[in-house]
């Protein structure tokens, strides 16, 4: 509860004001949802001795009856609902935005990002192409290559579709967007540009000084404390590369549609037993960032055929002490790829309506499908499955090595 | 609709934001908090006949909410509620200084500060919800307020700045 203004001279009232100001989200009250949930709940039990005995007997009988019967829940070909594009708001002005730059320097050069948060009281738009430049009035024009990477198309089934670029049409207060950039190979002549200029889609410019956003990397070589990239090769152009604005939030309505609990008592596993395999000798690692996973020995890869659906099963085990029941059907994310990158990523809604309660320690099996693209590179690759909670990944699994065949 | 259902709905309508905000501090996000609030009131509705009127209705619902939040953290259910959480501002970047000041408090003090100043619960209700005495609530709040003022570097914070912060 917010205190009245005449109480703000009182330190306690002031503290209350400040605390409440730190919680700025709008109300999401929904009494009908409470009533729906209440209807789904079982009536509370009065734990008389007889009832305890009765429940214990039922549980023992049910556990025995369930032990041998395991069905597989069929796959549901349903992507998450499309996020609607909001109506176009007026362009964001520089004074509407809190702008922050983060960057680091390393052997590769200077890499960073600029984040912008709408601090005004109205929604504003960052739709359109951003423009970045390196500036410093005191130096002559450097030999500079500026390269813009347009956003990749967002397919309806991709996880990025939960956070579509169309959200940039109206950024609500306290939400924002970010833009990534990299600057490589500065060899002069003259001193390096000392600031990054961002031109907003509305035309206004924001200048961000590299030195103002430098946090010292104590104890590291000076390369890591630099405010410009190292000279890699003199003959080469210096290059500034940047991408599109990307929204940094998912609408609450989308998150709440697929949100479960803050902790899920579920352990996920992909059932590889029974899948066709192919024995191959492989030298090196299967997954990027995992050097030496397999070193020159024969290994059983799951065989996946290019251009056809890859069918498999996933098991969810209830690791909690109580029966688990899905209140909402969550999303899951499937990725199939090779060490050079992702080949395909798709997000689906878990077919949980017919699951019922999963007893403690018991498993529920789900049939899964993922189309392997016709143009997928042949040979080794990986596959991963992740349960999501709202728009967050939960319990990412160890990727499974696959071998893509024609 | 029976009288008790109406009373619970009334608490929900009047106090939703207090519940949601304080629980966001406890659960770590608005989304998780929203789910806990909905679940708490649903359970309160379902077991409304168990409410014996010995404590304020809101405190009774808060107790349910804290139990659900605790359950979701998978902590041992026997742990005293007042010591089971480590509340934080869900979006510390909104007021980094305050977020840092809150972190200087013990988790128990933070919880009680949230229940008092964000959820706007009175001492008796906090005592009931956290299963501690009213005296402990009073002492904890007093110590927490002094510590917070000190951590914020101002015994009497600038009212103008606070007003601006509250109006943003």
Most confident of A155-169, A376-390, B108-122: B108-122
Which of A21, A25, A259 lies nearest to residue B95, judging by beta carbons? A21
Q: How far is A209 from chain B (nearest CA, A)?
A: 22
Q: Give the tens place of pLDDT for each residue, A186-201.
A: 887 778 888 899 999 8
Element (H, E) at A147: strand A144-148
In this predicted structure, the answer to whether residue A41 has a pLDDT above a threshold of 80 is no
Q: Do A41 and B95 touch (CB under 8 A)?
A: no
Q: Give the model's confidence band at A29: pLDDT under 50 very low, under 70 low, under 90 confident, else very high.
A: confident
Asked if the Cβ–Cβ distance from B166 to A2 is below 8 Å, we say: yes
CB-CB under 8 Å, B20 with A1: no
Cβ contact (<8 Å) for A38 and B17?
Answer: no
Read off the pLDDT of each residue in A77-90 and give the average, rounded to a whole number: 88
DSSP secondary structure string, A228-240? S---S-TTSPEEE
Residue A95 pLDDT > 90: yes
**Residue B80's pLDDT is what?**
58
pTM comes to 0.51
What is the Cα–Cα distance from A212 to A215, expressed in whole angstroms?
9
Taking CA atoms, what residue in B is nearest to A320?
B74
Using CA coordinates, name the residue in chain B closest to A27: B17
Query: Which residues have C-beta within 8 Å of that of residue A112, sequence separation ≥ 6?
Result: A101, A102, A103, A104, A180, A181, A182
Q: Worst-scoring range by mean pLDDT, A353-357, A363-367, A386-390?
A: A386-390
Cβ separation A22–B113 shorter than 8 A: no
Looking at residue A262, its pLDDT comes to 56
Q: What is the pLDDT of residue B156?
A: 42
pLDDT of residue A42: 65
Cβ–Cβ below 8 Å for B159 and A9: yes
Token duo for residue A312: 């498999």
pLDDT at A206: 92
Higher pLDDT, A166 or B123: A166
Is the pLDDT higher at A293 or at A98?
Answer: A98
Q: Among B162, B163, B164, B168, which would you mutate to test the A interface (most chain A Cβ atoms within 10 Å of its Cβ)? A: B162
- Which among A5, A255, A256 has the least Cβ separation from residue B163? A5
- Out of B9, B72, B157, the one facing A261 most closely (by C-beta) is B72
Among A221-235, A346-360, B104-118, B137-151, whose mean pLDDT is lowest?
Answer: A221-235
In a mutagenesis test of the B interface, which of A38, A116, A254 is the best target, namely the one with the most B β-carbons within 10 Å? Answer: A38
- In this prediction, residues A338-343 reach a mean pLDDT of 60
C-alpha closest to that of B144 among B105, B99, B87: B105
Does ipTM surpass 0.90 in this model? no
Please provide the CATH number assigned to the domain covering A72-80+260-405: 2.70.50.30
| A339 band by pLDDT with thresholds 50, 70 and 90 | low
**DSSP, res B104:** T
Average pLDDT taken over every residue of chain A: 77
Q: What is the pLDDT of residue A291?
A: 39
Q: What is the pLDDT of residue B3?
A: 84
Q: Do B32 and A15 touch (CB under 8 A)?
A: no
Contact A37 B12 (CB under 8 A): no
Question: Residue B12: which of A24, A31, A174 has the nearest Cβ?
Answer: A31
CA–CA dist B142, B140 (Å, integer) = 5
- Structural domains of chain B sorted by starting position, each given as residue range(s) with its CATH number in brackets: 3-167 (1.20.140)
Cβ–Cβ of B38/A12 closer than 8 Å?
no
Q: Which helix (H) or strand (E) holds A268?
A: strand A266-271
**3 state DSSP class of B2:** coil
CB A25 within 8 A of CB B19: no
Distance from CA of A168 to the nearest CA of B (A): 21
Does residue A116 or residue A30 have the better pLDDT?
A116
Judge whether A188 and A233 are in contact, CB under 8 Å: no
| Pairwise CB contact (< 8 Å): A2 & B9 | no
What is the reported pLDDT for B16? 87
A142's tokens: 């450097």
Q: What is the pLDDT of residue A93?
A: 94
- Determine the distance in angstroms separating the CA of B105 from the nearest CA of chain A, rounded to an integer: 14
Closest of B78, B14, B5 to residue B47, by C-alpha: B5
A122-136, A242-256, B146-160: which is most confident: A122-136
Cβ-defined contact of B157 to A390 (cutoff 8 Å): no
Domain residue limits, chain A: 72-80+260-405, 94-249
Residue A14 β-bridge partners:
none
Given this model, what pLDDT does residue A370 score? Answer: 84
Between these two residues, A254 and B78, which has the higher pLDDT value? Answer: A254
List CB contacts (< 8 A) between A34 and chain B: 12, 38, 41-42, 45
Tell me what the mean pLDDT of segment A365-376 comes to: 86
Confidence of residue A297 (pLDDT cuts 50, 70, 90): low
Check pLDDT > 60 for residue A63. no
Q: Each residue of B19-78: pLDDT tens digit? A: 988 888 887 778 788 888 998 999 999 888 888 777 788 889 998 898 888 777 654 444
Q: Which residues of A touch B156 (CB under 8 A)?
A: 9, 11, 14
Please report the pLDDT score of residue A200 as a whole number: 92
pLDDT band at A341 (very low <50, low <70, confident <90, very high): low
């Amino acid at each position: 509860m917010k205190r009245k203004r005449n109480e703000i001279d009182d330190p306690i009232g002031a503290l209350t004001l400040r605390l409440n100001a730190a919680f700025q989200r709008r109300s999401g009250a929904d009494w009908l949802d409470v009533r729906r949930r209440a209807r789904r709940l079982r009536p509370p039990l009065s734990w008389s001795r007889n009832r305890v005995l009765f429940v214990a007997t039922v549980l023992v009988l049910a556990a025995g009856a369930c032990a041998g019967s395991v069905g597989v829940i069929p796959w549901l070909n349903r992507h998450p609902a499309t996020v609607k594009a909001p109506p176009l708001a007026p362009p964001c002005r520089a004074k509407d935005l809190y702008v922050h730059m983060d960057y680091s320097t390393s052997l590769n050069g200077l890499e960073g990002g600029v984040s912008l948060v709408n601090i005004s009281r109205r929604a504003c738009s960052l739709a359109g192409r951003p423009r970045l430049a390196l500036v410093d009035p005191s130096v002559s024009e450097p030999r500079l290559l500026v390269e813009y990477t347009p956003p990749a198309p967002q397919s309806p089934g991709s996880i990025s579709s939960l956070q579509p670029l169309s959200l940039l049409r109206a950024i609500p207060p306290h939400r924002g967007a970010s833009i990534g950039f990299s600057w490589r190979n500065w060899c002069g002549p003259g001193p390096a540009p000392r600031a990054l200029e961002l031109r907003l889609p509305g035309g206004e410019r924001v200048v961000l000084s590299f030195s103002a956003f430098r946090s010292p990397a104590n104890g590291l070589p000076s390369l890591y404390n630099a405010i410009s990239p190292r000279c890699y090769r003199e003959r080469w152009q210096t290059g500034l590369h940047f991408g599109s604005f990307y929204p940094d939030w998912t609408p609450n309505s989308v998150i709440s549609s697929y949100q479960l609990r803050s902790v899920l008592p579920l352990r996920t596993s992909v059932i590889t037993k029974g899948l066709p395999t192919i024995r191959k000798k492989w030298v090196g690692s299967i997954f990027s960032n995992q050097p030496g996973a397999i070193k020159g020995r024969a290994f059983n890869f799951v065989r996946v055929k290019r251009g056809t659906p890859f069918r498999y099963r996933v098991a969810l085990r209830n690791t909690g002490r109580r029966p688990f029941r899905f209140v909402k059907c969550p999303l899951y994310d499937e990725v199939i790829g090779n060490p050079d990158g992702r080949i395909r990523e798709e997000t689906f809604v878990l077919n949980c309506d017919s699951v019922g309660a999963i007893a403690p320690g018991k498993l529920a099996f789900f049939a899964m499908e993922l189309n392997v693209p016709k143009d997928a590179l042949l040979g080794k690759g990986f596959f991963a499955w992740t349960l999501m909670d709202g728009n967050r990944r939960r319990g990412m699994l160890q990727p499974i090595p696959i071998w893509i065949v024609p | 609709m029976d009288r008790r259902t109406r009373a619970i709905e009334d608490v929900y309508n009047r106090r939703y934001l207090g519940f949601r905000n304080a629980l966001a501090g406890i659960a770590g996000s608005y989304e998780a908090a929203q789910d806990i609030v909905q679940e708490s009131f649903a359970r309160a509705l379902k077991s409304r006949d168990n409410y014996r009127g010995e404590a304020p209705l809101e405190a009774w619902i808060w107790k349910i909410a804290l139990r659900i939040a605790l359950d979701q953290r998978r902590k041992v259910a026997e742990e005293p509620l007042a010591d089971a959480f480590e509340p934080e501002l869900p979006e510390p970047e909104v007021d980094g200084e305050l977020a840092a000041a809150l972190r200087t408090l013990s988790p128990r003090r933070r919880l009680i500060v949230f229940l008092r100043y964000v959820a706007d619960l009175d001492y008796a209700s906090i005592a009931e919800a956290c299963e501690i005495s009213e005296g402990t609530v009073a002492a904890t709040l007093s110590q927490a307020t002094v510590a917070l003022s000190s951590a914020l570097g101002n015994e009497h914070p600038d009212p103008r700045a606070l007003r601006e912060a509250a109006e943003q």
